[in-house]
Amino acid sequence: MTKYSLDVTGEICPYPLMLTKQKMGKLTAGDQLVVIVDYAKSVEDIPRWAKEEGYAVLAISEVGRTQWEIVLEKGQPAVVEEGK
């Protein structure tokens, strides 16, 4: 497992989510990504998207008056059995 950081402070919708999607796409299963945001809507959008994609949302922490850290973990890819 490797821990990565993505600072998207100063970015507004849709960029925090787009940049998070790009970064998560490059990670391998078990890797974690700490996303630092200062756009409040991202605190809702990024975890919702992550859960839909099957990623674990490990933590959401307020780290400043208007700044948050969202910790995501990329899970194992789904195994599809042939014939089902």
Domain extents in the chain: 3-73
CATH of domain 3-73: 3.30.110.40
Residue 68 amino acid letter? W
Higher-pLDDT residue of 73, 82:
73
Higher-pLDDT residue of 45, 75:
45
pLDDT of 82 reads: 62
Whether 13 is catalytic is: yes
Write out pLDDT tens, residues 1-32: 899 999 999 999 899 999 999 999 999 999 99
pLDDT of 67 reads: 96
Residue with tokens 């969202």: 70
- Catalytic residue selected from 13, 18, 29, 58: 13
The C-alpha torsion from 14 through 20 and 22 to 25, rounded to 10°, is -140
